[in-house]
Amino acid sequence: MTNYDMVGPAIVLGLGCLGSSIGCGIAGMASHGAMTRVEEGHAKFIALSAVPSSQSIYGFLLMVIMNNSIREGNLTALSGIGIGLFVGLAILFSSVFQGKCAATAIQASAKQPAVFGKAFTALAIVETFAIFAFVFALLLIK
């Protein structure tokens, strides 16, 4: 008999990490471009390009929680796959669009360093959707 217990946890981890890598890649490319145009403030650009990596943490935590819940018999494999797929997609898209926001924040900060804090706000707003997906998944799992 085939066991599908770990498919859902694997999906949420994989999609979370995929999104983070894409988002960080988008922002990292913008960071590199900005560094060629300005002489200082490079650490801010690097920090902005790392922000989308947080969604991989949500995917990892959900993987662990889902794994434990499945092993305890509180979550079925099919429910785990559904939660893993749709929550994973929410986290993935949040990461990608956060990377795009980070890229424009880097470009704006390179041109006008004073807007750094304001530009960072958009990244926090996009992050909240990954947090919502994470919390809602926890409610479904428990």
pLDDT in tens, 48-81: 999 999 999 999 999 999 999 999 999 999 999 9
- Within the chain, which residues score under 70 in pLDDT? 1
* Helix/strand/coil percentages in the chain, nearest 5: 85, 0, 15
What is the pTM for the complete model shown? Answer: 0.92
At 69, list the tokens: 């819940």
Check residue 142 and give its pLDDT.
77
Element (H, E) at 102: helix 77-111
Check residue 41 and give its pLDDT.
85
Check residue 32 and give its pLDDT.
93
- The full set of domains in the chain, from first to last, is 7-141 (1.20.120.610)
Check residue 2 and give its pLDDT.
76
Check residue 1 and give its pLDDT.
63
Task: Residue 69: name the closest of 1, 132, 140 by CA.
Answer: 140
What is the rounded distance in angstroms from the CA atom of residue 16 to the CA atom of residue 13? 5
